[in-house]
Structure 1
């Protein structure tokens, strides 16, 4: 009997020490000595899970509404500012960005013609401040022309083809189709299609995503484990681009199916979609034109009757001529120089 009591005492002490250690780590990891953990916690203030539907519905990631955050990514040594409006869309105009009363953001004129910029982190403007993002720069160009058209940033991190279709379904509930919708294609869409297909087919995966999201908001320990895991297993990190060679999209590939579904949807809803292709960066952050994946997606778009704006060669020529860096160092997303060039090309297309 004494042995049973002693064993229970040991287990209780172990549990008590474990809880104490956990809370000690929670406090310690929030100190300035761990900037990577702090970045993860701060970044989660910008990202919300869609709350519509029941707990078993697909948990789509969206930007949180009415945010104004200064973020610093320590690994990439980049500091940037992100603001969102009442719709959870990134701000694209200096008018809204300078409003001190955030409650006044909660209105907009539905009668104004719009340009939509769709896509993932490239469309969103990952790691650049509001005024350096593509939609903001494009809106500034149109404003200089005294155009009444406004640009909306519908980009969301790690959004694939099927996710873009779901995003459009949400937006169309309160908005009419735009004058043009530019999908800034990114080759990470290839891997995002697998993730989104798994979310559609697996209830367990949906629950795990929700649990992971909650833990990532509140727990520094959980974020530390994720950082270490991604460091030693890089393929687990978000937006990892798998190099493509040869034919990569078979007839039943989830990316092909998702793209075709999106193309059929925009035609049904009379959304004038323009698919925009950019060069992808290689390991030296130099632009690469016409990867096998891009060629196949371009052909799918052509077969589906979707308009194209291929900026791969113009951007490559711009890079060669000016000898300027066009991708963010240690990252590969477009830098402000590239975003300005893309915005100018979109401006020509709109004209």
Structure 2
């Protein structure tokens, strides 16, 4: 009997010390000495889960409404500001005299023709401030030419083809189809399709994503473990061209199926979609044209009757001529100068 009591006492003490250590680490890791953890916690303030479908529905990541945060990414030494409107969309125009005043964006302005920019972090404008993003640059060009067109940024981090279809389903509940919607294609859509397929087929995966989101939003310890894991896993390099030869997308590949489903959806909903291709960065952050994956996705779009705006060679020539950087250092996303150039090319396509 004494042995049982002693054993319980040891377990209780171990649990008590573990809780104390966890709480101590939660406090210590939030100090300025750990900027990477601080960035993760601040960045999560921008991201919300779409939960309207219930506890076991697919947890789609969205931007939180009415946010305006200045973030600093320590590993990449980049400081930028992200602001969202009442719909949880990144703002694309100046409201009033102050860019931080986003309360005036609470009017949906249904009478104004719209251009939608769709996609993941490239469309969103990851690591650049609001006024440096592609949708903002495109909206500014249209304003300068006195066109009555408003550009909406529908980009969301890590959004694949099926996720874009779900995003459009949400937007169409309150908005009419635009005059044109541009999907800024990115190679990460390849792996996003696997992740989204898992979310569709696995309740356990959906629960895991929800738990992971809550922990990453509130726990410094959890974010520390994620940073260490991502730093040492082989695929830690971001946004680089996927090495490939021959066929990449088989007839039953989830990325092919998701893309075809999206193309059928936009035609059914009468959304004039244009698929935009940009060159991808290699390990030296130089533009690469026509990777095997891009060739196949482009052909899928053509076979599905979806217009394609292929800016790969145009951007490559622009980079070659001016010999300037077009990707963010230590990252691979487009930099502000490339976003402005892409915006100018898209504006030509609109007209």
- The interval holding the TM-score normalised by the smaller chain is over 0.9
- The residue number in structure 2 matching 1:21 is 21
Q: Counterparts of 1:239-254 in structure 2 under 5 Å?
A: 242-254=242-254
Taking structure 1 as reference, are residues 98 and 88 closer, same or farther at Cα in structure 2, changes over 3 Å only? same
The answer to whether the Cα contact below 8 Å between 2:238 and 2:332 also exists between their aligned partners in 1 is no
SS state of the match for residue 221, structure 2?
Answer: helix
- Tell me, what secondary structure is at the counterpart of 1:95? coil
Greater Cα shift, 301-310 or 99-108: 99-108
Shift of 1:102: 4.7
- Give unmatched runs, 5+ long, in structure 1: none
Corresponding position of 1:57: 57
Distance in 1 (alpha carbons) for counterparts of 2:241 and 2:225:
22
CA contact (8 A) 1:91 1:97 kept: no
Partner of 1:9: 9
Q: Secondary structure at the match of 1:198?
A: helix
Q: By how many angstroms is 1:58 displaced? A: 0.2
Counterparts of 1:191 and 1:214, CA distance in 2 = 23
- The CA deviation string for residues 103-129 of structure 1, in whole angstroms up to 9 with x for no partner, is 433223111000000000000000000
Aligned pairs for 1:246-325 (under 5 A) are 246-325=246-325
Q: Matched residues in 2 for 1:146 and 1:277: separation?
A: 27
Cα deviations by residue, 1:117-174 (Å, 9 ceiling, x for unpaired): 0000000000000000000000000000001000000000000000000000000000
CA distance in 2, matches of 1:325, 1:308: 25
Q: Offset at 1:242?
A: 3.4
Mapped partners of 1:327, 1:102: distance in 2? 29
Question: Any conservation in 1 of the 2:239–2:333 contact (CA below 8 Å)?
Answer: no
Distance 2:340 2:196 in 1: 31
User: Structure 1's 238 and 26: CA in aligned 2 closer, same or farther, altered over 3 A?
Assistant: farther
Aligned to 1:42: 42
User: Does the CA-based 8 Å contact 1:326-1:334 persist in structure 2?
Assistant: yes
User: Secondary structure of the equivalent of 1:72?
Assistant: strand
Match of 1:197 in 2: 197
CA separation in 1, counterparts of 2:151 and 2:104? 19
Preserved contact between residue 191 and residue 240 of structure 1 (Cα < 8 Å): no
* 1:173 has 2:173 as partner: yes
In the TM superposition, residue 344 of structure 1 has moved relative to its aligned partner by: 0.4
Q: Does structure 1 residue 124 correspond to structure 2 residue 124? A: yes
- Cα 1:238–1:63 change in 2 (3 A) is farther
Residues 96 and 10 (structure 1 numbering): CA distance in 2 closer, same or farther, change over 3 Å? farther
* Distance of 1:96 and 1:292 partners within structure 2: 46
Q: Which residue of the partner structure matches residue 137 of structure 1? A: 137
SS of the residue 1:94 aligns to:
coil
The DSSP-based 3-state class of the residue aligned with 2:262 is helix
Q: Normalization by structure 2: what TM-score? A: 0.97
Provide the aligned C-alpha RMSD in A: 1.4
1:161 maps to: 161
Structure 2 gaps of 5+ residues are: none
